[in-house]
Amino acid sequence: MNIADFDLIICGGGPVGLCAAGLLARRGLDPARIALVDLKTPQQAAADPRTIALSYGSRQILEELGAWDGVGKAATAIEQIHVSRRGHFGRTLLDRADYDLPALGYVARYGSVNQALATATDHLGLNLLRPAEVVALAEEDDHVAVSLQDGRILRAALAIQAEGGVFGEQQQKSMQRDYRQLALIAHVHADQAVAHRAFERFTDEGPLALLPQDDGYALVWCVRPDTGERLLALDDAAFLAALNQAFGQRVGRFTRTSPRHSYALGLNAKPGRTQRVVAIGNAAQTLHPVAGQGLNLGLRDARVLADVLARERTPEALQQFHRRRGQDRDLTIRLTDLMARIFASAPQGTPAQALLGLSLGAIDLLPPARDLLAGQMMFGRR
């Protein structure tokens, strides 16, 4: 039997897994004793075209790893975030100048972040097993055994589950029941685009986000499933007309769109806890895309976990991690879940929707409230 022993096993070589591995090595762990397993090759991961929003706090984490230069050269800075309610009073404008920062966040491609992290950690000497598929995980009293599809077995004191974003058919159905929403994604152009300004626009069916990217916007439009299917069936001209109607005139008229895609939305925020396995990133919590907090929350998971495990690699250390991450995780999950559910489940024009619109206006008039919102989006609860 082919058995290899390590100090730590990380299942998942995306940004969160790579970040955890790199930070652990930089905090003094022997990189050769860290096994990182992923199903994709580095080339496949680097080709991932998805768009993601990175907070300024995430930039700081990537800078610590020496990965930011590779991400930043192809990223678009978000200098302002405009949050509003379609057709109602109330809006909030967050501006990077109010916080003396170069940007509130950045829009990047998932593959670019993967590639930059892979390059930054390549010289550390991590034990990379990719492509390799994890088929079983068995937890014993004093170790964890991870079985790979090719017959190899890896053993370590602890395992980190960082593989997220891939769900079975039953979980996808469950997630869709959670919010009864689809997210439509595309790249669109407008004739009066506002440079470096992101928009989070609440419509009657859910949030509609425009993230500045290249010479246009990355669109994430959350709607109920029947609306989503209808929008996907439209030709480009009809789709752009519907988008104009839903968003309004703040960026003028939408003129072009890429092919559209959709995925079901839901909340997965109840990871199982064991003595020797810890879940981080999407493996621990899969959030609604409102406010774009999913990856940022995962990178904060990786940083805190590296701090804890650099001192000791025991079940007690994992308990400390859960205590330290509980408040930030709970607040971020509750905030995104609340906003999603108000619009995904409430009938149009309900008091809950009106109250959220008024709250947006109140936040803009109350600097401390606005600063709390900005701080949570940029850095999380620290």
What average pLDDT does range 336-344 have in this prediction? 61
In whole angstroms, give the CA distance from residue 193 to residue 232. 24
Q: Are strands 261-264 and 182-190 parallel, antiparallel or unpaired?
A: antiparallel
Q: 259 with 303, same domain?
A: no
Give the pLDDT confidence of 90-128 residue by residue, as tens digits: 578 889 998 899 999 999 999 999 999 999 999 999 999
With a cut of 90, say whether residue 321 has pLDDT above it. Answer: yes
pLDDT of 272: 58
Q: 248 with 285, same domain?
A: no
pLDDT of 83: 84
pLDDT of 307: 96
What average pLDDT does range 65-93 have in this prediction? 85
Last residue of a domain, one of 215, 231, 264: 264
Q: 321 with 354, same domain?
A: yes
Last residue of a domain, one of 241, 264, 287: 264
Q: 26 with 161, same domain?
A: yes
Q: What CATH code is carried by the domain that includes residue 13?
A: 3.50.50.60
Give the pLDDT confidence of 287-303 residue by residue, as tens digits: 665 556 778 989 999 99
Mean pLDDT of the chain: 83
Q: 161 with 190, same domain?
A: no
Report which DSSP code applies to 286.
Answer: B
**Residues 244, 232 contacting (CB under 8 angstroms):** no
pLDDT of 166: 40
pLDDT of 365: 47
pTM score: 0.85
pLDDT of 364: 53
In whole angstroms, give the CA distance from residue 307 to residue 193. 42
221 beta partners: 184, 208
Give the pLDDT confidence of 2-12 residue by residue, as tens digits: 889 999 999 99
Q: 328 with 354, same domain?
A: yes
Q: 231 with 288, same domain?
A: no
95 beta partners: 80
In whole angstroms, give the CA distance from residue 366 to residue 210. 25
What average pLDDT does range 240-269 have in this prediction? 89
- Domain around 46: 3-168+267-379
What average pLDDT does range 196-211 have in this prediction? 89
Question: What's the number of domains the chain is made of?
Answer: 2
Q: 241 with 284, same domain?
A: no
